[in-house]
Amino acid sequence: MKSHAAEQGDTATALPDLVAAVEQALPQQANALARARAFAEPLIAAETLETGENTLAHADAVAAILKSMGGSEAMQAASYLVYAWAHLNKPQEVITKAFGESYAALAAETTKLVHVQRQARDADDTLPLQDHRREQTENVRKMLLAFSRDLRVVMLRLASRLQTLRYYAATKQPVAAAVAREALQVFAPLANRLGIWQVKWEMEDLAFRFLEPDTYKQVARWLDEKRVEREQYVEQLRSQLEADLRAQGIQAQVHGRPKHIYSIVKKMRGKSLDFEQVLDVRALRVIVPDVKDCYAALAWVHERFSPILEEFDDYIARPKPNGYQSLHTVVRDAAGRPIEIQIRTQKMHEHAEHGVAAHWAYKEAGHKGYAGVSASAVYDTKIAVLRQLLAWERDLAGSVEGLFEDRIYVLTPQAAIVELPQGATPVDFAYTVHTSLGHRCRGARVDGAMVPLNTQLKNGQTVEIVAAKEGGPSRDWLNPELGFLASNRARAKVRSWFNEQLRHETEGRGRELVEKLLQREGRTAIKLEELASQLGFKSAEDLFFVVGKDEFSLRTIEQLLHPHAPLPSEDEVLAKKLRGTPSKSPKGGVLVVGVDSLMTQLAKCCKPAPPDAISGFVTRGKGVSIHRRDCSSFREIAARSPERVIEVEWGKSKGEAAVYPVDVAIEALDRQGLLRDISEVFAKEKMNVVGVQSQTVKGIAWMTFTVEIADSQRLARVLGTVREVGGVRSARRR
Convert the pLDDT of each residue in 194-230 to its tens digit.
Answer: 656 678 888 999 999 999 998 888 888 877 766 677 7
At 403 the pLDDT is 40
Q: b vs e for 344-363, b when ≥16 Cβ sit within 10 Å of the residue's Cβ?
A: bbebbbbbbebbbbbbbbeb
- Domain spanning 660-733, CATH architecture: 2-Layer Sandwich (3.30)
DSSP annotation string for 536-569 = T-SSHHHHHHHHHTT-S-HHHHHHHH-TTS----
Mean pLDDT (10-residue bins), the chain, 734 residues: 34 42 51 88 91 93 84 80 89 88 82 73 54 55 52 80 93 86 81 70 90 87 72 86 92 81 77 60 87 94 92 88 80 86 88 43 32 34 37 31 59 74 93 92 90 88 89 90 91 90 87 87 84 84 84 78 54 39 46 61 82 84 82 84 84 67 87 85 84 78 85 85 88 84
Which value, to the nearest 10 degrees, does the dihedral of the CA atoms of residues 50, 53, 56, 58 take? -100
User: What's the CA gap between 690 and 671, in Å, rounded?
Assistant: 23
Q: b vs e for 473-510, b when ≥16 Cβ sit within 10 Å of the residue's Cβ?
A: bbeebbeeeebbbbbeebbebbeebbeeebeeebbebb
User: What's the CA gap between 420 and 406, in Å, rounded?
Assistant: 9
Peptide bond into 611 cis (omega under 30): yes
At 86 the pLDDT is 86
- Amino acid at residue number 470: E
At 133 the pLDDT is 53
User: What's the CA gap between 293 and 344, in Å, rounded?
Assistant: 9
User: What's the CA gap between 112 and 511, in Å, rounded?
Assistant: 58
Asked if residue 251 lies in contact with residue 289, where contact means CB atoms within 8 angstroms, the answer is: yes
At 370 the pLDDT is 27
Backbone dihedral region for residue 585 (phi beyond 0: left; psi -120 to 50: alpha; all else: beta): beta
At 43 the pLDDT is 92
At 664 the pLDDT is 87
| 73-84 vs 55-68: helix crossing angle, rounded to 10 | 160
Asked if residue 112 lies in contact with residue 460, where contact means CB atoms within 8 angstroms, the answer is: yes
- Amino acid at residue number 254: V
User: What's the CA gap between 164 and 160, in Å, rounded?
Assistant: 6
Q: What is the CA radius of gyration of the chain?
A: 38
CATH no. for 406-486: 3.10.20.30
User: What's the CA gap between 514 and 175, in Å, rounded?
Assistant: 71
Bridge partners, residue 466, by sequence: 443
Q: Note the pLDDT tens digit of each residue in 568-593.
A: 444 444 434 433 334 444 344 566 65
Q: Note the pLDDT tens digit of each residue in 161-193.
A: 999 999 999 998 888 888 888 888 878 877 766
Q: Which helix (H) or strand (E) holds 286?
A: strand 283-288
Asked if residue 365 lies in contact with residue 393, where contact means CB atoms within 8 angstroms, the answer is: no
CA of 521: how far to CAs of 517, 518, 541, 554, in Å? 6, 5, 21, 12
Domain coordinates in residue numbering, the chain: 4-214, 226-354, 406-486, 566-658, 660-733
At 178 the pLDDT is 80
User: What's the CA gap between 361 and 375, in Å, rounded?
Assistant: 10
Asked if residue 463 lies in contact with residue 397, where contact means CB atoms within 8 angstroms, the answer is: no
Q: Which helix (H) or strand (E) holds 650?
A: strand 648-650
Could you tell me which CATH class the domain 226-354 is placed in? alpha beta
SS3 681: helix
User: What's the CA gap between 455 and 660, in Å, rounded?
Assistant: 53
At 62 the pLDDT is 93
With a CB cutoff of 8 Å and minimum separation 6, the contacts of 573 are 595, 618, 644, 646
At the fourth CATH level, the homologous superfamily of domain 4-214 is Hypothetical protein af1432 (1.10.3210.10)
At 591 the pLDDT is 66
CA angle, 383 then 386 then 392, to 5°: 145
